[in-house]
Amino acid sequence: MGGISFGFIASGILLGLAIGFVLQRGRFCMNTAFRDTIFIQDWTLFRGFLIALVIMIVGANILNDMKVIRLAVQPFYPIANIVGGYVFGLGIVMVGGCGSGVWYKVGEGQFNSIIAVLGFFLGIHMTATGILNPVYKLLKGVKVPIAGHNAPTLWHIFGDGPTVKWAVIAAVVIPIIVFILKGKPFSAPKQKGLEWPKVGVLLGILGLAAFWLANIFEGFPRGLSFTTPTGEFFGTLLTGNAMLPKHPLSRVFPMFEVGPFTITWASLFIIAVPFGAFISAKILKEFKWKIPPVDEMLSVCMGSLMMGFGATVAGGCNIGQGLTGASTLSIGSLVAIIFIILGNWTNVYFRFIKPMQD
């Protein structure tokens, strides 16, 4: 642990403000992006997500090869990635927002998002250090190396070396780009705020900036994530320490001293997200305090606990695994985001589609 600098504080806050501003300005929530594909057969926001993913896959690996950063690839915990991802996907439908969505929607005045953030935190800590920790350890008990790599990527299936790596990246990215182009991103209709291609581009660039800034100020290029930083922020707020020593990730992410307390760089950016969203919402005249009915609030409470449990077990949320982790082509991250989407689709079917059919 060490001290902090002005750059440490300013970079975290400015990054968070930018993320919140972009997400709100584009009304970009991955729960909606995943839900719309099956509910109304609209792939618009999903294509925005894919734009960000392509930028991050290519950009992060270029930065890694240039030795600007050193990507940290997540290990493959098949049971945890599958179960955690699926539960998280179920939860975001109940909440009506993903890990990043609930944070930025706080800045719009949505009271249910405040409840969701608190439930998300509670689920995280119940799983990482509390009563659900035995379940966490059980699901994390199976780790599968591939081709001799404890943290396998997609290209490790085919071999090692830069040629194999970039051939696999090309094989992944080119079909995604073709699919994006079918959505006619260069002629996206104008709207209030940001159109989906612009949101995708900006989110991808901010994701790369997060890798670089985290590498500078934390000494660890964790990139964008909303699960662990949520726990870190509330950990500092409630206990004075971003992570308790018994937290399973306490030796992974560095903590920094502020007087008698410890914080992390990522907890600064995450708390700035709703303020960035607030600025955007005020400019667009979209800020308004909204209090949902009681039955919806109960769904949010249960869903947010599921989000916290699922994201902790899976190793990350829709951003941490779906963009940051997936940009490394980590097999564990790819499995997690696939099951997040499947969980989302399952709950959308039973909560929305099936009742309409009946």
Query: Distance between CA 59 and CA 46 in Å, rounded?
Result: 20
Residue 327 is classified by DSSP as G
Q: Above pLDDT 90, what percent of the chain?
A: 88
- Predicted structure pTM score: 0.95
Query: Domain for residue 165, yes or no?
Result: yes
Q: Which residues contact 172 (CB under 8 A, 6 or more apart)?
A: 57, 154, 329
Report how many domains make up the chain.
1
Q: What is the pLDDT of residues 112-144, one digit of tens each?
A: 999 999 999 999 999 999 999 999 999 999 999
Report pLDDT for 3: 66
Angle at 330 between CA 14 and CA 35, to 5 degrees: 70
Report pLDDT for 1: 52
Q: What is the pLDDT of residues 258-312, one digit of tens each?
A: 888 999 999 999 999 999 999 999 999 999 999 988 889 999 999 999 999 999 9
Query: Domain for residue 161, yes or no?
Result: yes
Q: What is the pLDDT of residues 29-64, one digit of tens each?
A: 999 999 999 999 999 999 999 999 999 999 999 999
Query: Domain for residue 16, yes or no?
Result: yes
pLDDT higher than threshold 60 for residue 317: yes
Query: Domain for residue 227, yes or no?
Result: yes
Query: Domain for residue 106, yes or no?
Result: yes
Q: What integer best gives the mean pLDDT of the chain?
A: 94
Q: Average pLDDT of 327-336?
A: 97
Q: What is the pLDDT of residues 216-242, one digit of tens each?
A: 998 888 999 999 999 999 999 999 999
Query: Domain for residue 1, yes or no?
Result: no
pLDDT higher than threshold 80 for residue 157: yes
Q: Above pLDDT 70, what percent of the chain?
A: 99
Q: Under a CB-based contact definition with an 8 Å cutoff, are residues 123 and 308 in contact? A: yes
Q: Which residues contact 134 (CB under 8 A, 6 or more apart)?
A: none
User: Where is pLDDT greater, at 107 or 294?
Assistant: 107
Domain range for 273 is: 6-357
